Amino acid sequence: MKLHQLLASTTIAALMLLWHTGSIADSAKKTLDEEQMAHKDCAGCHVTINPGIVKQHLDSPHANPKKVEDEVRCHDCHGTNHKTMDDYAKAEMPTAETCGECHKKQMKQHKNGKHNLGWLVMKSQIAWHGQPGAITQQGYRGCSGCHKIGEKGLMGVTDGNMEATPKSDGGKEASKYRYGNAQCDACHTRHSFKASEAADPRACSNCHMGFDHPQWEMYTSSKHGIVWGIEGHEEGERAPTCQTCHLMEGDHEVRTPWGFLGLRIPIKENVLALIDVAPSLKEPLTNLAAALPSGNYMDLDDDPQWTFDRALILQAAGVLDASLQPTERFVEQVSLRSRDVF
């Protein structure tokens, strides 16, 4: 054993001993039961092989919960079948469902959100299918390096699913990948898994950047991003971050607000003004205006053609029906949130 490995092993072993007897992590004393012994065996071996992940875990919320019974140990995520260096393939690799055993609400939100569709969206691009698997698949280079935040095995139109909602293949595609099925660690990187990291806009920057989706460049060159950079990076400061608008109150559904490709419904006054331009639509426009809030939007909002064009987009998005009337989606996602938006 090399000297640096011996020193690292000795140091972290001492920390483990103190940690497990309760001298550091908790005032309540712990006894080394079978689960803790298994956990101790994992750390005792891995500290000589990859000490970084052991240190990350020991510093993480998983290892230092508010309640002792909420502690997450190695085998809670990786199972107990892997015991030697030769049987490493028996170690279980976590999935989003693994995280969902404890984080049920966040898991449900993620499944309903856009991030979960990342892998499906990537595979809808012709360019992806023309690249070698060493890049696009297990290699996680190029597009797949970010799009692996999405669930594998979702089937869309290209898979023969003509329904509006993607269907699962029952885990067939995911079973071909040993790594990269966790999804959650795209933002909460292993083995620290800290919420504070995912709450920092820089956590978004490695994927939402570049010529084809330059959201990070747009943010950092905006007043919001400039103020955030100048005044510090503490949560709750006056400059909003990516998470302020896209993960409101920690909602993992990751919604699109008004900005990049977002849509904004017109105000009541804009719609009523269209009656002079299109008298034949007086009745549906009057009914639509009754469901809209008042406001003071200007510029493009005062252009009748732009308002009509927006109505067409809202119809395509399922927010307005063919008669320009609000759909259930409008009621759910617009009306119920209007007091927070307008």
Q: What is the pLDDT of residues 260-292, one digit of tens each?
A: 445 666 778 888 888 888 899 899 989 988 888
Q: Is residue 201 within 8 Å of residue 160, measured between CB atoms?
A: no
Tell me if residue 168 falls in helix, strand or coil: strand
Q: In the predicted model, is pLDDT for residue 10 greater than 70?
A: no
Check pLDDT > 50 for residue 18.
no
- Predicted local distance difference test score (pLDDT) of residue 22: 44
Q: Residue 306 pLDDT > 90, yes or no? A: no
Q: Is residue 99 part of a domain?
A: no
Q: Are 74 and 39 in contact (CB under 8 A)?
A: yes
The owner of tokens 């095995």 is 153
pTM as predicted = 0.68
Contact 174, 95 (CB under 8 A): yes
Of 186, 210, 231, the residue that ends a domain is: 186
The fraction of the chain above a pLDDT of 70, given in percent, is 80
Which of 3, 40, 38, 34 has the alpha carbon at shortest distance from 18?
40
Question: What are 186's two structure tokens?
Answer: 């795209």
Is 305 within the bounds of a domain?
A: yes
- Which tops the pLDDT comparison, 122 or 33? 122
- What is the token pair recorded at 164? 């509006």
296 band by pLDDT with thresholds 50, 70 and 90: low
Closest CA to 153 of 104, 122, 119: 119
Q: How many domains does the chain have?
A: 4
Integer angstrom CA distances of residue 251 from 199, 288, 309 = 11, 30, 31
φ, ψ for residue 155 (rounded to 5)?
Answer: -110, 130
Same domain, 181 and 140: yes
Contact predicate 246/254, CB 8 Å:
yes
Q: How many CB atoms lie within 10 A of CB 95?
A: 18
pLDDT of residue 333: 59
For residue range 57-71, list pLDDT tens digits in order. Answer: 999 999 999 998 899
Q: 132 or 199: whose pLDDT is higher?
A: 199
pLDDT of residue 260: 41
**For residues 341 and 39, which has the higher predicted lDDT (pLDDT)?**
39
Terminal alpha carbon distance of the chain: 65
Q: Would you state the pLDDT for residue 262? A: 53
Q: Is 73 in the same domain as 140?
A: no
Q: Is 101 inside a domain boundary?
A: no
Q: Which of 151, 168, 186 is the last residue of a domain?
A: 186
Q: Quote the pLDDT of residue 37.
A: 58
CB 245 within 8 A of CB 257: yes
Task: Answer whether residue 39 shows pLDDT above 70.
Answer: no
Cβ pair 262, 256 in contact under 8 A: yes
Of the listed ranges 130-139, 143-152, 193-202, 299-308, the one predicted with least confidence = 299-308
Per residue in 92-135, pLDDT tens? 999 999 999 999 999 999 999 889 999 998 888 877 888 887 78
> pLDDT tens digits for 172-184?
999 999 998 999 9
Picking from 92, 116, 138, the residue at the C-terminal end of a domain is 92
**Residue 100 placed within a domain:** no
Three-state secondary-structure class, residue 80: coil
> What is the torsional sign of CA 189, 192, 196, 200?
negative
Cα distance between residue 13 and residue 69, in whole Å: 22
Distance CA 198, CA 336 (A): 27
Residue at 246 is within a domain: yes
Residue 97 lies in a domain: no
Query: Which domain range does residue 176 map to?
Result: 106-186
Residues near 341 by Cβ (< 8 Å), separated by ≥ 6? Answer: none
Answer yes or no: are the C-beta atoms of 318 and 311 closer than 8 Å.
Answer: no
144 in the same domain as 110: yes
pLDDT score of 137: 74
Q: Please state, rounded to an integer, the average pLDDT across all residues of the chain.
A: 80
The DSSP symbol for 105 reads: H
Cα–Cα distance between 21 and 233 in angstroms, integer?
36
87 DSSP assignment: G
**pLDDT above 90: percentage of residues in the chain:** 38
Q: Which of 32-36, 113-117, 257-261 is least confident?
A: 257-261
Q: Is the pLDDT of residue 209 over 80?
A: yes
Whether residues 167 and 223 share a domain: the answer is: no
Residues 148 and 74 placed together within one structural domain of the fold: no
Q: Are residues 8 and 87 in the same domain?
A: yes
Report pLDDT for 154. 93
49 shares its domain with 80: yes
**Residue at 274 is within a domain:** yes
